[in-house]
Structure 1
Amino acid sequence: MRLTSVLTSIATACLALLGTTAVNAQNIGNPPMATDGLIIVEGANEMFGNRTNAGVKSAEKGKYIVLESKATTGYTMVSRQTKFPYNELIPSWNVWCPKGAGVRLLLSTAVTPGNNDWFEAARWGDYQFPYPVEFKQKVPGGEYVTDTLLLKGTSSYISWRVEFYRGSTNIESPKLSLLAASYSNTLKKKKIYAAYGDKRPFFMEPTGKKFQLDVPYTTQVVSDKSRVNEICSPTSVVTAIAKFGIRADLDRACDLVYEPYEKIYGNWIRAVSLGSQFGARGYITRFRNISQVNETLRKGYTICASIKFPDNAVPKDELPLMYGNRGTDGHLICLIGIDKDGWIITHDSASRKNGVACRWSQNAMKKVWVDARGGVGYVFTGKR
């Protein structure tokens, strides 16, 4: 991928690309009556609810699931029914891995999953898994592309199977603390929308008062120019978790989150895993209006928003200064507040000069984020 236009100065602006072009092609957007749900399963007690596990145990007063002391492999499985049938789903999880260990996430939409109903959604850690990697998979009822499940029909069930691995019992166990699924029905179903949809208008009236979280800024304009225009996602994560006193090294973050098979830094699930590796709690969800954004920010949470827009798609006076009339094929920005006029305040890692606490109109955010990217955002809530 490349930017729609190359900016003239890499020192002042470098609009980076989010590595999810495959998902773009699947029209993840904001159709009328789009209805979203979120499931979070957290802690060993909830994740052991199915009693379907082997080689793992609860640790640290039920905060984590880890391998048993004499086990080098193990698994746990969790199933949930959704509030309504969905046709899109984006998973996320909070995991931590030492060197020589790894975790693997499999999903199923079947009511009672059989062996052929599972597909791999993510992996984390440097363990050498004995399984091939596929990033555009035909799965029962649809396909899984990079980080997003797209069904031809619908399902009302989701199951997670997490597999734990380590090279020997001398290596510390991987840790799992949270599983999440952001699911959506985008099929214009009136009854589902009437029962479960958020019917508030996209635009929110200005409050006349500025609200801004205290979030240190991080730039992606780094010395390694070979990846400077590709690392907006890990940079946004490093920025977002800094709000909670977690100061992560950007170079290490880029190395950890890089997906060598697709050669991208912007896999959404891996971005949340990155935050968790550094000690943050987070998940992926969808935003459809500014009231949802306002509520999330006022809880003290940070949001990393996935945006995309072509040249001249948004009036330049509604965008941060460094954009001008230019667009981006994909980028991540960190939302940190709303000003007195209702404009969204963000840290944009693309420009050290103009990216700090820069502002977007609500209309711009609708076009570049919610309409273009389905309002997908990483939410970080604090230390895990």
Structure 2
Amino acid sequence: MVNPSPAGPSRVVLHRWTAMAPSESGVTAYLDPFGGETTTWPYTRWTSEERDIGFPATELVPSWTAGAPKGSWIRVELRARTAAGGLTKWYDMGRWAEGEDDIHRTSLPGQGDEDGDVAVDTFVATRPVTAYRLRVTLHGAEAAVRTVGVMASALPTRASVPAGPAGEGSRVELAVPPRSQKTHAGHHPEWGGGGDSWCSPASVTMVLQYFGRGPAPGDLTFVDPADPCPAVDHAARDMYDHSYQGTGNWPFGVAYAGRYGLSGFVTRMRSLAEVERFIRAGIPVITSQSFKEHELPGSGYSTRGHLMVVTGFTAGGDVIANDPAAQSDETVKRTYPRAAFENVWLRTTSSGGIVHVIHPHDIPLPPSEGNW
């Protein structure tokens, strides 16, 4: 991969593992920070080899697909090597389970030191890192990890990003079902504020339903029968991060989708032309962006962070998106100007091009330059 200039696109690499043989086992005690007594768990642990990043990275984001039903849970940790050659401590990147029968699903605040800190789901390096190791600990006999990955990146400082040319996804639109988060206003405020904050559960649910996946009717009996889309409530419940107090933890969203037989990961893309490759391959892409209302014409709102699903592109290259911030399912589908969308998604003050990619195993990914 060619290293770009400081004003160029982000430097990004994604490493993924699909075969992980545990090399350690034992018994450990765990005290849930959100209540309960100390419990004892049998565990097995896999630790990766040290992976070279290829450039000085400033952020690392893990993601995984796994199974952790009742009686099990998973812990994911990272340790990095600084550009000066030293090793950081092990940072806790998340404690995850499908439900909450055994532990409260959570990220871990308060880990900062001279090498970096964990911002919910992202290791942010104080000084650049050049390599890392990943450690996954499975608690309970039923815990299993199917895929795990780490996205490493270095973002240029860009207050604005010019639009790139339309690519191979123009004139393609995927029939992703629309799901509004706003129709869930007031629902289950204990899981992140209800509809006002459920862009992530709504977006992941849209992609799951596009691929014909998701919870069975029997899993939705806790939801009011009058609910417009009980699957969104289910996703909010089972994506909720108790420390973050919200449903927007990026790897937790991918892990939720993985429960239904899908593969997935979090990475950064460097242009809408890369997103177009996925649309052409039949894979919708969940993007993360922040903007003022005037910066994204047609949005009708401002946000400090919001997910939506890119479902296609017009003949002129504008973005067709299912935006869950719409007031109803009927108004979820939007067309956003390409230049405006690319800017509010890629610039440094936004997510720098963060995406969730979720897809069935039998739908191959398009060719990559290393970031997927």
**Which TM-score bucket, shorter chain as reference?**
0.7 to 0.9
**Deviation of the 1:253 alpha carbon:** 1.0
1:296/1:136 CA distance change after superposition, 3 Å = farther
- 2:151 alignment counterpart: 182
The 5-angstrom pairing of residues 155-194 of structure 1 reads 155-166=129-140, 173-186=142-155
Larger deviation, residues 304-313 vs 104-113: 104-113
Relative to the length of structure 2, the TM-score reads 0.75
What code does the residue aligned with 1:177 have? R
Give CA deviations for 1:202-232 in whole Å, capped at 9, x if unaligned.
4223779510122222222345514110111
1:131/1:358 CA distance change after superposition, 3 Å = closer
- 1:89 alignment counterpart: 60
1:241/1:129 CA distance change after superposition, 3 Å = closer
Task: Note if 1:32 corresponds to 2:7.
Answer: yes
Give CA deviations for 1:98-125 in whole Å, capped at 9, x if unaligned.
11210000110038998x7211001211
1:370 to 337, 346, 357: 346
Separation (CA, whole Å) in 1 of partners of 2:313 and 2:106 = 44
**Deviation of the 1:247 alpha carbon:** 3.2
1:206/1:85 CA distance change after superposition, 3 Å = closer
1:343 to 318, 321, 327: 318
What code does the residue aligned with 2:207 have? A
Conserved 8 A contact 2:46-2:137: yes
Task: Note if 1:265 corresponds to 2:236.
Answer: no
- 1:78 alignment counterpart: 48
The 5-angstrom pairing of residues 105-184 of structure 1 reads 105-110=76-81, 117-125=89-97, 126=100, 128=102, 134-139=108-113, 141-166=115-140, 173-184=142-153
Separation (CA, whole Å) in 2 of partners of 1:103 and 1:113 = 27
Which secondary structure does the structure 2 equivalent of 1:205 belong to? coil
Give CA deviations for 1:334-380 in whole Å, capped at 9, x if unaligned.
01111111111111122225544311111121232111221111011
**Deviation of the 1:292 alpha carbon:** 0.8
Relative to the length of structure 1, the TM-score reads 0.73
Which secondary structure does the structure 1 equivalent of 2:294 belong to? coil
Unaligned runs of 5+ in 2: 27-40, 216-230, 363-372
Which secondary structure does the structure 1 equivalent of 2:81 belong to? coil
- 1:234 alignment counterpart: 201
- 1:251 alignment counterpart: 233
Conserved 8 A contact 1:300-1:381: no
Task: Note if 1:214 corresponds to 2:175.
Answer: yes
Give CA deviations for 1:60-107 in whole Å, capped at 9, x if unaligned.
xxxxxxxxxxx9311111132212221112211111211121000011
Separation (CA, whole Å) in 2 of partners of 1:269 and 1:92 = 5
Task: Note if 1:301 corresponds to 2:272.
Answer: no
Conserved 8 A contact 1:212-1:336: yes
Give CA deviations for 1:4-62 in whole Å, capped at 9, x if unaligned.
xxxxxxxxxxxxxxxxxxxxxxxxxx972343333332322xx34xx74437xxxxxxx
1:360 to 336, 341, 347: 336
Larger deviation, residues 340-349 vs 271-280: 271-280
Separation (CA, whole Å) in 1 of partners of 2:138 and 2:169 = 50
Separation (CA, whole Å) in 1 of partners of 2:330 and 2:351 = 24
- 1:60 alignment counterpart: none
What code does the residue aligned with 1:366 have? E
Q: Which has the higher contact order (CA 8 A, sep 6+)?
A: 1
Conserved 8 A contact 2:174-2:312: yes
**Deviation of the 1:331 alpha carbon:** 1.3
Identity across the alignment (%): 24
Separation (CA, whole Å) in 1 of partners of 2:361 and 2:209 = 10
Separation (CA, whole Å) in 1 of partners of 2:360 and 2:106 = 34
RMSD value, Cα? 3.1
**Deviation of the 1:127 alpha carbon:** 6.2
Matched positions, count:
313
Separation (CA, whole Å) in 2 of partners of 1:107 and 1:83 = 17
Unaligned runs of 5+ in 1: 1-29, 56-70, 189-199
1:247/1:201 CA distance change after superposition, 3 Å = same
**Deviation of the 1:304 alpha carbon:** 0.8
